[in-house]
A and B are shown apart, each in its own frame.
Chain A
Amino acid sequence: MRRLVFPLSETEDLSSLEAGQEILVEGVIYTARDSVHQLTSRGEGEWPFELKGNAIYYCGPTPALPGFPLGSCGPTTSARMDPYTPELYAGGLAATIGKGPRSRSVVDALREFGGVYLAAYGGCGALYASCVREAEVVAYRHLGPQAIFRVRVESFPVLVGVDSEGRSIFKGEFK
């Protein structure tokens, strides 16, 4: 199966990914959800990592059980992050990872800037916990589960939800 390592190397070609393909995410990704998107878009906060080549995972994990680096950590609904997302792709972000369909403006941004949207399996927090090797809070600790976690993952399964040509796996979006 195709593996995609974050942060992306200079030679990685996202345009070869096709909607509907299952791939494995490897390397380092960063969690962020509602509060961080609101704060950064209002200029009241900054992203603690370079957008270029990186992936944002829409996730607010549960506390880790003993012996685990992170708790249940499935994706949250991507649609709520839609209004904030095009400008992140414009800033060089390579991928977002979440669940469910995206808005037309996000799909347009993917086409324009050559990014991808990766669809994680909704509700599968225990499965994803088993793919996490390390996790640490790198910003917004006071937001609790909404803090930004730097997460190192191994064989983290996702579908290519919307590819860089704007093709999507979702039925009934834009309604």
Chain B
Amino acid sequence: MLTEDSLRRKVAAEAVKAVSLLPPPLEKKISQARENSEGLERKVLGRILENIEAAESSGVPLCQDTGVFEVWLRLGKNTASEGRRITEAILRGVRDVHESGPLRSSMSDIKPVIHTEISGADETGVIMTPRGFGSENYTFLHMLPPGVEEDEIIERVYGDLRRAAGRPCPPYVLGLGIGGTASKAVELSALALAECDFEHSPFEERVLRKANTLGTGAGGVGGAHTVLGVKLLEFPRHIAGVPLAVHIGCWCNRVVRFFL
């Protein structure tokens, strides 16, 4: 079992990694998008790739908005009784890198948002996502009627993307949460950003295709690459309503995961 001190240092190191290294599957998607694009959009994607390289070689954060840290803590059998101690260590580790590390203090008081679950797993898993507010500001919730059709859901997502236009740094990753309560759907849509693996289900593929008819393009300058990936996470639905939450992740959709 990790001591609180070593846990705090582990969290701090992972937080620094989170803001300066992009997950490889996303970097690959951006690189492919550049190869398949032209004109201004191609130029924008090229600059984004230069930036990814600059951050990797210098350790300077990819984006100055190092965000609000949103964390999913899944307490396994090894730590189930120690949730409080671990939560405290995460808070301190995240504060440490804001006080003396390369992260910007963007909040009135540095405090990560932590979702804690007791899992049946042997190990304790942590997912950390720095949520920048250029994209977080474009988060949407729709309370839809029971029996809502897929087409209507896709139209809602399309409408949200049209409202966001080029503001939250496209090309985007889309996180969708459907079902549960309003708050559960929003949480799921945020988690979906972290879980996006670019392997699309038929529904996610439909959302992706429709979204890319919008023409917003990388950097909002017009083009075919408005959205690179879509992930849907679901919860059982109440008989009287279906919450749909839409999280738009900027191209710099940062996430780290590690075990304790």
Is A77 a contact partner of B47 (Cβ separation < 8 A)?
no
Is B60 a contact partner of A144 (Cβ separation < 8 A)?
no
Total number of B residues with any Cβ neighbor in A under 8 Å:
47
Interface assignment of B88: CB less than 8 Å from any CB of chain A: no
B107 to chain A, nearest CB (A): 10
Chain B minimum-CB-distance residue to A124: B51
Is B216 a contact partner of A171 (Cβ separation < 8 A)?
yes
B259 to chain A, nearest CB (A): 28
- Stretch of B78-86, B204-212, B219-227, B231-239 that contacts chain A: B219-227
> Contact check: which of B47, B165, B214 meets A100 at CB < 8 Å?
B165
- Stretch of B5-13, B61-69, B145-153, B191-199 that contacts chain A: B61-69
Contacts of B180 in A (CB 8 A): none
Q: How many A-B residue pairs have CB under 8 A?
A: 162
Interface assignment of A7: CB less than 8 Å from any CB of chain B: no
Total number of A residues with any Cβ neighbor in B under 8 Å:
39
- Stretch of B97-105, B119-127, B181-189, B240-248 that contacts chain A: B97-105
A119 to chain B, nearest CB (A): 7
Chain A minimum-CB-distance residue to B45: A121
Given A72-B61, A121-B219, A169-B221, output 14 extra A-B contacts at Cβ < 8 Å: A20-B221, A59-B64, A60-B64, A62-B64, A62-B103, A65-B59, A73-B64, A79-B167, A123-B250, A124-B63, A157-B47, A159-B221, A171-B221, A172-B220
Interface residues in chain B, defined as those with a beta carbon under 8 Å from any beta carbon in chain A: 19-20, 40, 43-44, 47-48, 50-52, 54-55, 58-66, 101-106, 134, 137, 162-163, 165-169, 214-217, 219-222, 250-252
